[in-house]
Amino acid sequence: MSVIRILVADDHTVMRTGLCLLLERQSGFEVAGQADDGRKTVDLAGRLMPDVVVMDIAMPHLNGIEATRQIVSRHPQTSVVILSMHSDESYVLRALKAGARAYLLKDSAETDLIQAIHAVVAGKSFFSPGISRMLLEDYIRQVQQKGVEDSYELLTTREREILQLLAEGKSNKEVSSMLNLSLYTVETHRTHILQKLNLHSVPELILYAVRKGIIS
Partner 1 sequence: MEPTERKVHNNIPRPPAGRPAVAFRLALLAGFGGVFLLMAFAGIDSLRIVHRIEASNIKSDQEFLKRNDTLERIRADFYLSGSYVRDYLLDPDAASAEAHLHSLKQLRTRIETALEEYSLGLAPDERAAFTDLKARFATYWQSIDPVLSWDSRQRRTRGFHFLTRDLVQRRIEVLRIAGRIGDLNERRLHSQEQSVSALFQSFRQRLTLILATNMGLGVLLAAGTVFYILKLENDLWRRYKEILHFHGELESLSARLLRAQEEERRSIARELHDEIGQSLTALLIDAGNASALVQPGQEDLRARLASIRKLAEGSVASVRNMSLLLRPSMLDDFGLIPALHWQAREMSRRTGVRVELSADDAPDSFSDEHKTCVYRVVQEALHNCARHAHATHVRIVARQEPTRLLLVIQDNGKGFDPRHVRGLGLLGMEERVRYLGGNFHLESEPGRGTLIKVELPLVDMSEPPMKPA
Note whether 148 binds partner 1 by CB under 8 A: no
Q: Which region, left, alpha or beta, applies to residue 88 given φ > 0 means left and ψ of -120 to 50 means alpha?
A: beta
**Which residues ranging from 34 to 53 are in contact with partner 1 (CB under 8 A)?**
none
- Span near partner 1 by CB under 8 A; candidates 29-37, 89-97, 161-169, 170-178: 89-97
Number of residues counted as binding partner 1 (CB under 8 A): 29
Stretch of 16-24, 35-43, 74-82, 176-184 contacting partner 1, by CB under 8 A: 16-24
The single-letter DSSP state of residue 130 is: H
- 137 near partner 1, judged by CB under 8 A: yes
- Cβ(72)–Cβ(102) below 8 Å: no
For partner 1, the binding residue among 27, 90, 182, 198 (CB under 8 A) is 90
Q: Cα–Cα distance between 85 and 29 in angstroms, integer? A: 24
| Residue 106 sits in the site that holds partner 1 (CB under 8 A) | yes
Distance (Å, whole) CA 161 – CA 141: 25
* Least CB distance to partner 1 at residue 68 (A): 14
93 CB-side CA count, 13 A = 11
Compute the least distance from the CB of residue 194 to partner 1, in Å: 16
What are 31's strand-pairing partners?
A: 6
> Which one of residues 6, 109, 165, 205 is an interface residue with partner 1 (CB under 8 A)?
109
| Spatial distance between the Cα atoms of 141 and 39, rounded to a whole number of angstroms | 39
Is 12 among the residues that bind partner 1 (CB under 8 A)? yes
Cβ pair 135, 211 in contact under 8 A: yes
Rounded to a whole number of angstroms, the minimum distance from the CB of residue 188 to partner 1 is: 26
The residue within the footprint of partner 1, chosen from 27, 77, 145, 182 (CB under 8 A), is 145
Residue 4's nearest CA partner among 75, 79, 68, 73 is 79
Integer Cα distance of 124 and 167 in angstroms? 8
Q: Can residue 141 be called a binding residue for partner 1 (CB under 8 A)?
A: yes
**Binding region for partner 1 (CB under 8 A):** 12, 14-15, 17-19, 21-22, 25, 58, 63, 85-91, 94, 106-107, 109-111, 137-138, 141, 145-146
